[in-house]
Amino acid sequence: MKLATFNINGIKARGEALAAWLAEAAPDVVCLQEIKSVDEAFPREGLEAIGYRVETHGQKGFNGVAILSKLPLRDLRRGLPGDDGDEQARWIEAVVEGPRPLRICGLYLPNGNPAPGPKFDYKLAWMARMEARVRELLASEEPFVCLGDYNVIPQAEDAKKPEAWVTDALFLPESRAAFHRLVNLGLTDAVRARMPGPGVYTFWDYQAVAWERNNGIRIDHVLLSPQAADRLQEVGIDKAVRGKEKPSDHVPVWVRLAD
């Protein structure tokens, strides 16, 4: 089973780029972030025509997450538990019915800037809620994967110029500590399990010729439960997508798990 995460930065702007990548990469399941569309306006017909079931948790103008799956889905959940007043569309969850069922948690974690401030407080509170959900899933002992745009640079080697991020919410100690708490529950950072060392990035800003200078950061992550990590076969980052026409500022990250 090939699983991928891709922050597309707007389905309307990036629909053609998404379709081209799907045709080339052929993932079985994809979690999308920043679809920037309400559910009823999401252009699902073209994706359904090429064999994907489409489930969205949308929001007008910003945020929004989705799952595209060639396999049946069950137990679909929209929204991260723990705050009934949170109206931001950042979490979608379902069980993929493959030969061995696998729970997929697609997420778009808050940016948190400017920090300190209410947005940073919301980011940390959201991460605490995610930690609580992960603890529940670990207790169930079912295999699961949490994949998406975490908006966290875990360590200095995950940025070309870490000194440029020291006051940014993505790299503040509190954000990194919350990320490491998740991993330390027993999750596996799939990319780092197979791609150690510097120079591994998933995001390049549109400004300051960041792509041309390879001035990137790694903020799109795939975290595997112990039962899912046992099935890990392959990991990839489709970096070339960033150099194509009208790209997102993120690129797809994918893993292949044994069926």
Output phi, psi for 2, to 5 deg.
-100, 120
**CA separation for the pair 195, 235 (Å, rounded):** 8
For residue 190, what pLDDT is reported? 98
For residue 47, what pLDDT is reported? 96
Q: What is the pLDDT of residues 26-78, one digit of tens each?
A: 999 999 999 999 999 999 999 999 999 999 999 999 999 999 999 999 999 99
Q: How confident is the model at residue 113 (pLDDT cuts 50, 70, 90)?
A: very high
**What does each C-alpha distance from 235 to 14, 31, 42, 132 come to in angstroms?**
24, 16, 29, 27
8 Å CB contact between 220 and 151? no
Domain that holds residue 14: 2-257
Q: What is the pLDDT of residues 227-243, one digit of tens each?
A: 999 999 999 999 999 99
Residues taking part in catalysis: 108, 149
Output phi, psi for 46, to 5 deg.
-65, -35
| Whether the bond into 196 is cis, omega within 30 of 0 | no
CATH code for the domain in which residue 44 is found: 3.60.10.10
Name the domain count of the chain. 1
